[in-house]
Structure 1
Amino acid sequence: MSIAQNPVWTLSGFGDEIDPDPKIQAAVLLALGASHIEVRSAWGTNVAELTDAQVSDLRAILDETGMKVSAVASPIGKVDISLPAEHEVERLRRIIEVAKALDTKYIRMFSFFRSADQTPESIRGAVMERMSLLAGLAEESGVMLIHENEKDIYGDTPDRVLDILETVNSPALRAAWDNANFVQVGVQPYTDGYAKIRPYLEYLQVKDAVAATGQVVPTGAGDGQLMETLSALRQDGYVGFASLEPHLAVQNELGGFSGPAEFGVAARAFRSATDAAGVTLA
């Protein structure tokens, strides 16, 4: 098969995994062949806390470099379920303003932490109430929420991700697929989850992980079944974003960091995998 026949996926990445400065974020991503950036923070400030002036400055920097925004990587739903539902609804209102100012329809989000004495089943009703409210606001606003299968939230396994998507049943709520996060909760991503989640899969987040330790590693160096996933997405006709989130230097509850060199390692490993799968990155 010739390269011209290969499907084209749009390469993006979490800029703040490279450096706090968005000018450096954009420069490194461009050097790695990415045309888009996923915005989680800039100048060390989370996207939910950026002022209007900061958002305007960020947009100007990105416009100057020609870099577009694939998604706003928001912290929505990465809070304890005990907080009132309106807490995240109000934060989402602000995030929607930021997303529109940055000219993206995608907002990455989560489905709530629970306390140590709570089971996923015990918080299900509260999760669905909040996710429905958030999806309703997104639908009204013309944006799309993409739920990430983060560990320790309600939607951490394929079955519970599917439960959210089917129960909320909103065109404004879709899945952001993360192989490494599935590995970290004891799931074989492709084997256990791909067929279930694929009808809702809207956005690919790129990282791999080792099952025995949970350590995040470059594509193909872990147990995330990345090649099986990439090949299946190619066969299914996926043509969306692939966003690098390497977490190769630091990983914590709120995100991660790689630095320019390690980010480059992750980008080159992913490009090797997509080349092997017959996918072109642009």
Structure 2
Amino acid sequence: MNHKPVFRLCAFADEADASLDGQICALRDHGIRLIELRGVDGRNVADLTEADAHNVRKRLDSAGIAVWSVGSPIGKTDIAEDPEKEQNRFLHVLSLARILGAQCIRLFSFYGTGGDAKYFPAVVSRLEGFLRAAAGSGIVLCHENEKGIYGEKAAACEELHRALPDLRAVFDPANFVQAGEDVLSAWRMLSPYVYYGHIKDAKANGDVVVPGEGDGALASYLPLFPTDHPCVLTVEPHLASFVGLAGLEEEGARSAVNTARFRNNREAFDCAVSTLRQLIADCGCGLAE
């Protein structure tokens, strides 16, 4: 009997192509039926109208692709900014997620805190507002560890999850590497809260690399996922520059992307997906097609 995890693949397909048609093509070519929707035809998902979302849903449904998560930028704002403005933006994203049929919304825990505990009450208060708004929707809010936000380090993430039991985690190993954290230690701390994972790898110097070539310990931590249900992994290569990349990270904390290794975005995306499939096979885990 196989007691290793079985994974369902998902992807930030905007790293393959800015256009939704190109994203659908890339996903179908790889047999991936889930998308973490972030960029659509050069626009951030949070900037879509409800009419846009209905159109996107129709196109994805026709292609047999489901929105697993809305890869939103919620919480990637400074803690000093007006909380009502971000709450209203979240309410719009929540409406989009309902239309898109998403199971999750990815969000963050705010810049401008420097990880200082004095900001903890303010961060919790804002995240609580999001959770209250989403209550009863069936949509799971997932906090991503990210460089420069309050939840940059594993201990701070754990603190947030303990304070907010309904907040789940999306585990990003590369972001922990870039924050100077040991990935396996972070996993042991946060695994009770993890809802799904991002697949991105990095070296300790900050360079983003092909999955398995960095210090993200992917081959060691993938077998640690739960075995009682298929777990979702979202491919997020960051191996080539793509539309919207500059807006994903705080100024001064940008990932180093090697733009010379691949001829184009699609080639970088293809490499990341193929490499992940091989990693999953090599560590004895399975894929649910």
TM-score (structure 2 length as normaliser): 0.89
SS in 2 for 1:141: coil
On the 8 A contact 1:26/1:37 being kept in 2, the answer is: no
Equivalent residue number for residue 270 of structure 1: 276
Question: 162, 168, 178: which is aligned to 2:164?
Answer: 168
Q: Report % sequence identity.
A: 35
Which whole-Å CA distance do the structure 1 matches of 2:92 and 2:31 have between them?
Answer: 31
Equivalent residue number for residue 108 of structure 1: 106
Which whole-Å CA distance do the structure 2 matches of 1:265 and 1:143 have between them?
Answer: 31
Counterparts in 2 of 1:159 and 1:53: CA distance versus 1, 3 Å:
same
Equivalent residue number for residue 209 of structure 2: 217
Which whole-Å CA distance do the structure 1 matches of 2:215 and 2:4 have between them?
Answer: 26
Which whole-Å CA distance do the structure 2 matches of 1:217 and 1:33 have between them?
Answer: 23
Equivalent residue number for residue 75 of structure 2: 77
Deviation at 1:253, TM superposition (A): 4.8
Deviation at 1:218, TM superposition (A): 1.5
* Of 262-271 and 83-92, the range deviating more from structure 2: 83-92
Give the counterpart letter for 1:208 in structure 2: D
On the 8 A contact 1:220/1:227 being kept in 2, the answer is: yes
SS in 2 for 1:214: coil
Equivalent residue number for residue 233 of structure 2: 242
Give the counterpart letter for 1:186 in structure 2: G
Equivalent residue number for residue 285 of structure 2: 279
Deviation at 1:119, TM superposition (A): 4.8
Give the counterpart letter for 2:176 in structure 1: F
Which whole-Å CA distance do the structure 1 matches of 2:110 and 2:49 have between them?
Answer: 25
Matched, 1:183 2:177: yes
Which whole-Å CA distance do the structure 2 matches of 1:78 and 1:238 have between them?
Answer: 31
Give the counterpart letter for 1:244 in structure 2: V
Question: 94, 99, 116: which is aligned to 1:120?
Answer: 116
Equivalent residue number for residue 193 of structure 1: 186
* Of 244-253 and 66-75, the range deviating more from structure 2: 244-253
Q: Which runs of 5+ in 1 are unaligned?
A: none
Please give the per-residue CA displacement for 1:67-104, whole angstroms capped at 9, x wherever unaligned.
11110000110000011222222111111111111111
Please give the per-residue CA displacement for 1:35-59, whole angstroms capped at 9, x wherever unaligned.
1111002011111110222212211
Equivalent residues, number: 273
Give the counterpart letter for 1:31 in structure 2: D
Deviation at 1:238, TM superposition (A): 5.4
Question: 201, 204, 207: which is aligned to 2:197?
Answer: 204
SS in 1 for 2:213: coil
Deviation at 1:140, TM superposition (A): 3.8
Which whole-Å CA distance do the structure 2 matches of 1:179 and 1:133 have between them?
Answer: 27
SS in 2 for 1:12: strand
Superposed CA RMSD: 1.9
Question: 214, 223, 232: which is aligned to 2:224?
Answer: 232
Which whole-Å CA distance do the structure 2 matches of 1:167 and 1:158 have between them?
Answer: 14
* Of 246-255 and 91-100, the range deviating more from structure 2: 246-255
Question: 36, 39, 42: which is aligned to 1:38?
Answer: 36
Deviation at 1:122, TM superposition (A): 2.9
Give the counterpart letter for 1:13 in structure 2: A
Please give the per-residue CA displacement for 1:145-199, whole angstroms capped at 9, x wherever unaligned.
11000110000111000000001222xx100000000000001111x21121111
Please give the per-residue CA displacement for 1:80-133, whole angstroms capped at 9, x wherever unaligned.
001122222211111111111111120000000006xx5522322211111111
Please give the per-residue CA displacement for 1:14-65, whole angstroms capped at 9, x wherever unaligned.
0211111111101111111211111002011111110222212211211111
Which whole-Å CA distance do the structure 2 matches of 1:245 and 1:189 have between them?
Answer: 17
Give the counterpart letter for 1:204 in structure 2: G
Which whole-Å CA distance do the structure 2 matches of 1:246 and 1:148 have between them?
Answer: 16
Which whole-Å CA distance do the structure 1 matches of 2:58 and 2:117 have between them?
Answer: 45
Equivalent residue number for residue 51 of structure 1: 49
On the 8 A contact 1:182/1:189 being kept in 2, the answer is: yes
SS in 2 for 1:142: coil
SS in 1 for 2:135: helix
Which whole-Å CA distance do the structure 1 matches of 2:77 and 2:284 have between them?
Answer: 39
